[in-house]
Amino acid sequence: MRLAALRQKNWLMLYATDSLSDAATSHQLSQQLSQQQSQQQPHPLHPALFQQAYWRERNLVVGEAPGRGSSLFLQAGDAEQWVLRPYRRGGLIAKLSQKRYLWLGEERTRAFRELRLTATLYDQALPVPRPVGCCVTRFGATYEAALLTVRVPGAQALASLLAKGAANDVLLERVGNMIKRFHQAGLDHVDLNARNILVDPAGKPWLIDLDRCRLRKKGSWQARNLNRLERSVVKFTGSPDTFLKIKSSYHSSEVISN
């Protein structure tokens, strides 16, 4: 996957050239921005693509995901939907600013890091959504950002399936195998929980939300990932037995399978 960067005034964009460039000039997204915006920015890629208002004004919002960032599902083309996720803070620091982050350089922004990581894993044929692009808008010493990825068609969160008692043994084994593959690739997913695992209609699990995640050498972080997921699974099932099936599959998976 080839990534390209675009810099204009106070915003920076990192995008997959085979995703965002084509879509930005498609029949869906070629609708002109306001005359003022068009005069200011003749390039077909514009930060407005990363703003919720752009999509709402064109009636291209087809759904919304629960969570702090209020991710939107977008109809980006006839056969493809995207997920727009603005970066939002949680915890006590959110009382100071929910969406501003300290500027330490473009490559250290959360959006650039997540997009590059997602692209790396995608190129390894690991089950992550195809990245589209990210945009960072700088405000002096701070910045705001948003990320676009391709939506996994028809997918449900593992959390939802667990809560409904609809996660069978085959699926749980696949989840354990998937996590092992990511760990073999060195991915430390700092927020590994049942909401960040999607399951498509074919029963294939996918891993999402790689914000603050990174590639590392083998270490104790792998056990911390599993412990975090165990707490999440127990939360939705009320029993530790379900996670034991995931854990068993994880430890019995020795070979990476693409």
Going by the DSSP 8-state scheme, the letter that residue 142 receives in this structure is: E
Tell me, yes or no, if 200 is annotated catalytic.
no
Q: Which residues pair with 12 in a beta bridge?
A: 7, 136
pLDDT at site 93: 59
197-199 sheet: strands from edge to edge: 156-157, 197-199, 205-207
| Cβ proximity of 229 and 194 under 8 Å | yes
Structure-token match 């969406």, residue found: 99
pLDDT value of position 36:
46
List domains and CATH numbers for the chain: 3-150 (no CATH), 156-252 (1.10.510.10)
Residue-wise pLDDT tens for the chain (258 aa)? Answer: 999 999 988 999 999 998 776 666 554 454 444 444 545 544 567 899 999 999 999 999 999 987 655 799 999 988 899 999 999 986 555 456 678 999 999 999 999 999 999 999 999 999 999 999 999 999 999 999 999 999 999 999 999 999 999 999 999 999 999 999 999 999 999 999 999 999 999 999 999 999 999 999 999 999 999 999 999 999 999 999 999 999 999 999 775 554
Six token digits for residue 246: 């995931």
Q: What is the largest CA-CA distance in the chain?
A: 60
By 3-state DSSP, what share of the chain in percent is helix, strand and coil, each rounded to 5? 35, 20, 40
Instruction: Match 């692009």 to its residue by tokens.
Output: 133
* Local structure of 82: helix, strand or coil: strand
Residues 6+ apart with CB under 8 A from 58: 31
Rounded CA separation 134/3 (Å) = 11
Show the tokens assigned to 219.
Answer: 């270490």
Q: Of the listed 191, 200, 209, 241, which one is catalytic?
A: 191
What predicted TM-score, i.e. pTM, was given to this entire model? 0.89
Is residue 140 exposed (0-12), middle (13-18) or buried (19+ Cβ within 10 Å)? exposed
Nearest to 80 by CA among 27, 153, 132: 153
Using alpha carbons, list the distances in angstroms from residue 98 to 2, 80, 89: 32, 30, 5
* Residue 31 contacts residue 58 (beta carbons within 8 Å): yes
Our measurement of the distance from residue 2's CA atom to the centroid of its chain's CA atoms, rounded to an integer in Å, reads 18
| Cα dihedral 153/254/183/225 (nearest 10) | 90
